Amino acid sequence: MEDLLQIYDKVIFPILQAGVLLAVTLALRWIGAKYKINFSQAQEDMVRQLALDAVAFTEEQTYKNLKIGMKLSPGGKMETALEFANKHAPKLDPDKVRDYIEAQLAQTKGVGATGERTVR
């Protein structure tokens, strides 16, 4: 019985694992081709959403801190947003994330040039 388990553990399981990985990879490529999904575009969308989430989190934290009398240092919002982004997606390119966060800060009402007091 132990010999059978060792064969399964050392031979059969790795073959099955490789087969499942191959099947998933092929399925993703097929789906991508069929629906014309560009996975790099999906990654780009993920970075954009992360930037939006980071800015929303930063605005919420800023609001809470202002309620108790704390103020952010110059560049504090960017630091907070970058910390949030790095915590949630540490493998992303920090320069790319910074660019998206800056763009989002500029577009967010009450944060950028619009002067309104809401976060979209």
Are the C-beta atoms of 50 and 89 separated by less than 8 Å? yes
Segments making up each domain of the chain, as ranges? 1-37, 38-120
Mean of the per-residue pLDDT values of the chain: 75
One-letter identity of residue 26: L
Distance CA 15, CA 119 (A): 50
Spell out a b/e string for 30-49, using b for 16 or more CB atoms within 10 Å of the CB, else e: eeeeeeeeeeeeeeeeebee
Residue 4 has what pLDDT?
66
Q: What is the pLDDT of residues 46-87, one digit of tens each?
A: 888 888 888 888 888 888 888 888 876 657 888 888 999 999
